Amino acid sequence: MIRASIPIFLASKSPRRRKLLKQLNLKFKSFSVEMDEKIHPGEKPYIAVLRLSKEKLDLAKSKIKNGVIITADTIVVLDKTILGKPLNKEDAFRILKLLSGRTHIVYTGYSIFNSRNHKTISEYEKTEVTFRELTNEEITDYIKGGSPMDKAGAYGIQDDFGAVFIKKINGCYYNVVGLPLAKFYHALLRIL
């Protein structure tokens, strides 16, 4: 259990990341930072998630002067192509159809900053996820529920129906949700 003598802030609008931090029994406040999460042409996925988490951290530092700040970014990669959040329902269908019956990689980068000791840790994790073959009807029904619209790769492994799309995973389950909890926990201990 982490007992911090400094306030902790999660700079993320992701309800999934808030839930993950609660699993660690962390006392924290959350707020969101708005920025363009554009991937640069030719940028390697792990570089992209690290860069985006650091850029979010820079924005968050302008709002919080005293505390530990946590930021993160998650992307889905299929055949070296980065699949972001769907633009609309048609895009969500296209993405899920691409993932159907195939293995993709989920990358999450996170950054943690402590204003008292001025330490920053930025790390990433990757997890392989294999989907079973999905029917058009399953994809359409899932999209109707609205669940894929705010998620990289248009699905949530922890979600209602999205969970049944997964045939197997190789790596950290929580990384696919949005934060590799064990690795993150040890980074947090190092920074406090």
Answer whether 24's CB lies under 8 Å from 178's CB: no
List phi, psi (to 5°) of 162: -60, -25
- Kind plus residue range of the DSSP H or E element containing 80: none
User: Quick one: CA dihedral 180, 182, 186, 189, positive or negative?
Assistant: positive
Give the burial class of 90: count Cβ atoms within 10 A of its Cβ; 0-12 exposed, 13-18 middle, 19 or more buried.
Answer: exposed
Strands 103-114, 119-131: parallel, antiparallel or unpaired by DSSP?
Answer: antiparallel
Q: Specify whether 73 is catalytic.
A: yes
Phi-psi region of 79 (alpha: psi -120 to 50; beta: other; left: phi over 0): left
Q: Which of 36, 73, 91, 160 is catalytic?
A: 73
What phi and psi values does residue 177 have, to the nearest 5 degrees? -70, -35
Cα–Cα distance between 75 and 143 in angstroms, integer?
Answer: 19
Question: Residue 183 CB: number of other CB atoms within 10 A?
Answer: 17
Which residues does the annotation mark as catalytic?
Answer: 73
